[in-house]
Structure 1
Amino acid sequence: MEFTSHELYHVYNRGNNQQPIFYERENYLFFIKKMRRHLTNCSEVLAYCLMPNHFHWLLFVNDTEDSNSRHPLNQKIGTLFSSYTQSINKRYDRTGSLFQQKTKSIHIDSKKQAITTFFYIHQNPIRAQLVGEMADWPYSSVPDYMGKRRGTLVNKECAYSLLDLDSDSVTNKSKKDLDF
């Protein structure tokens, strides 16, 4: 993955062989804690959704001090995956890779693509028939945007500014299943 400062990216990965990466509530919460530790010092998390066998992030990449080398976000993501995998392997007495080898990242180059990605990420639990409404899935940023939780992982102000959204538009669009 290559990241450029001041750009938006849709980052996602899934379990190796499409197997689960989250087995119970504590796994989701532990991964969110790791996201906070590893992602927030070099990017702004605008949206996320953790699903049983994959995840999605919408990230705005912060400045790097050295523009001649790879952005530190690459290393931070690798460290997050490695430490999470080690913990899961130990907890569930398993070995080997948890995530697929290549994490995907799509550079978002238009406001329309950013908004579409924002809602696509949040609609994953509905499309997987895990919940009836996006706000009911606790492992995404939707409850934060809808005021059902006061989480601090996502930078809502940054998302509102970059995506030209406000809390009302997010709430209204989140209440219906948009076609993407």
Structure 2
Amino acid sequence: MQQFEPLIYGQFYHIYNHAVGGRNLFCEANNYEYFLSLYDKYIEPIADTYAWVLMKNHFHTLVRVKEKEKIGYYKKLNSDRSDDSVRFQTTTDLSEFGEPERVDINNLKRPEPVKHFSHLFNAYGKYLNKRNETRGALFERPFKRKLIDNENYLKQVILYIHNNPIHHGFCEHPIEYPWSSYLSCISIKSTKLHRDAVIGWFDSEANFRAMHNQKVEVMKIEEWLEM
């Protein structure tokens, strides 16, 4: 059985992954939208998201794994494996399991955050293979993750993520690319993205925009990611 390096509760991570064998992860708008819907189902219960970008053959996201107590327990596991997108449901309310004072928490199953990312990749891979009439693994394994332990790196990773489309020649400014969190950061629309924290790290929205207007040394950040 494949062993996964666990994700530590309460810690920030830059998580990223590529398609295998020169495949594309996203070929049309529906693909991006479906991935985001699966991301919401699998990742939102176990992690808070601060930045993300979806590229044709890879993606990046900045998340903070929730504390164990905030993730809670599995409410149920769906026995119908035909739909991976609804295999689990989590809850922090012990009344979901009966009378709280009679619930033995030692017998309850806690979600493992690293496996939720694997479920996301498996579910999306099955969707894309079925849609394109293809077979085989879609994502590289194991997926890449980098622990982020200071605020300066948080800011650098956000700039790196939002500038990824520029680095790969898809646009000249993050505002022009529709499949990243940059637009959510400068919008007033409701979002599950932790926008206020992101803007706070840059001190203000004006400074957030100003720093995204500057040239980002993407290659230097990539060198740090490989350390």
**With structure 1 as the length reference, what TM-score do the two structures score?**
0.89
- Which residue does 1:94 correspond to in 2? 134
SS at match of 2:68: coil
Q: In structure 2, give the amino acid aligned to 1:77.
A: F
Q: Does 1:80 align with 2:120?
A: yes
Report the CA distance between 1:39 and its aligned residue.
Answer: 1.1
Give every structure 1 segment of 4 or more consecutive aligned residues whose post-TM-superposition deviation is greater than 4 Å: none
The higher-RCO structure (CA 8 Å, 6+ apart) is: 1
- Which residue does 2:170 correspond to in 1? 130
- Which residue does 1:177 correspond to in 2? 215
Decide whether the 8 Å contact of 1:135 with 1:142 is kept in 2. yes
Distance 1:56 1:150 in 2: 22
Q: In structure 2, give the amino acid aligned to 1:129.
A: G
**Residue 167 of structure 1: which of 197, 205, 214 is its match?**
205
- Which residue does 1:12 correspond to in 2? 16
**Residue 115 of structure 1: which of 147, 155, 160 is its match?**
155
- Which residue does 2:86 correspond to in 1? none
**Residue 35 of structure 1: which of 39, 51, 70 is its match?**
39
Q: Does 1:156 align with 2:170?
A: no
- Which residue does 2:93 correspond to in 1? none
- What is the number of residues matched between the two proteins? 176
Decide whether the 8 Å contact of 1:50 with 1:139 is kept in 2. yes
Decide whether the 8 Å contact of 1:8 with 1:59 is kept in 2. yes
**Residue 27 of structure 2: which of 23, 30, 33 is its match?**
23
Deviations 1:82-141 (A, max 9, x none): 111111000000000011121000000111111111100110000001011111111000
Decide whether the 8 Å contact of 2:199 with 2:208 is kept in 1. no
What is the aligned-residue identity percentage? 24
Report the CA distance between 1:164 and its aligned residue.
Answer: 5.1
**With structure 2 as the length reference, what TM-score do the two structures score?**
0.72
Unaligned runs of 5+ in 2: 73-108, 219-227
Q: In structure 1, give the amino acid aligned to 2:191.
A: T
Q: Does 1:53 align with 2:49?
A: no
Report the CA distance between 1:159 and its aligned residue.
Answer: 2.8
Question: In angstroms, what is the RMSD of aligned CA positions?
Answer: 2.0
Decide whether the 8 Å contact of 1:4 with 1:71 is kept in 2. no
**Residue 140 of structure 1: which of 174, 177, 180 is its match?**
180
Decide whether the 8 Å contact of 1:58 with 1:117 is kept in 2. yes
Decide whether the 8 Å contact of 1:2 with 1:70 is kept in 2. no
Q: In structure 2, give the amino acid aligned to 1:97.
A: A
Structure of greater Rg? 2
Report the CA distance between 1:70 and its aligned residue.
Answer: 8.6
Report the CA distance between 1:48 and its aligned residue.
Answer: 0.2
